[in-house]
Homo-oligomer: A and B are copies of this chain.
Amino acid sequence: MSDKPITIYDIAQNVNASPATVSRVLSNSEYPVSAKLSQKIKAVAKEMGYTPNMLGRQLKKNNTMSIGVIIPSISNPFYADVVLGIEEIARSNGYQVLLCNSHQNPDLEAEYLQTLLEKQVKGIILSSISRKKGWLAGYLAKGLNIISIDQKIDNRHVYQIEFDYRKGSALACRHLIEQGHKKIAFISAALDRPTRLNLYRGYQDALREAGLTPLKKEWIQLSKACENLNYDSAFEFNNGKQLTRNLLKMKDLPTAIITCNDLTAAGVINELNEQGLHVPGEVSVVGFDNIELSQMLTPALTTVDLPKYEMGRLACSKLMALLNGDDTNQKEVMLQPILIARNSVARLE
Contacts and interface: CB of A to CB of B under 8 A. Distances in A.
A59 B54 CA distance: 9
Contact of A49 (B77, B101, B142, B269): B142
A303 to B, nearest CB: 14
Contact of A237 (B143, B266, B292): B292
A119 interface: yes
Interface string A263-282: 10011011001000000000
Given A1-B144, A233-B292, A296-B267, A118 B77 contact: no
A55 interface: yes
Given A237-B292, A298-B270, A298-B298, A64 B55 contact: yes
A114 B56 CA distance: 16
Given A77-B77, A296-B270, A53 B2 contact: no
Contacts of A297: 296-298
Interface residues of A, number: 52
What is the copy number of this chain in the assembly?
A: 2
Interface in A94-111: 96, 98-99, 101
A248 interface: no
Contacts of A263: 296
B232 A118 contact: no
A269 B51 CA distance: 50
Nearest to A101: B87
A1 B142 contact: yes
A222 to B, nearest CB: 21
A38 B242 CA distance: 54
Nearest to A265: B296
Interface in A6-49: 49
A270 B297 CA distance: 8
Contact of A142 (B2, B56, B117, B144): B2
Contacts of A119: 54-55
Contact of A77 (B51, B75, B237): B75
A145 interface: yes
A214 interface: no
Contacts of A130: none
Interface of A: 1-2, 49, 51-56, 58-59, 64, 74-75, 77, 80-81, 83-84, 87, 96, 98-99, 101, 114-115, 117-120, 138, 142-145, 232-234, 237, 263, 266-267, 269-270, 273, 292-293, 295-298, 300
13 contacts: A1-B142, A51-B114, A54-B120, A55-B55, A75-B84, A77-B233, A87-B101, A96-B115, A237-B296, A266-B296, A269-B298, A270-B298, A296-B297
Return the 9 tightest CB-CB contacts between A and B, nearest first.
A1-B143, A55-B59, A233-B292, A266-B296, A54-B118, A2-B143, A75-B80, A234-B292, A51-B117
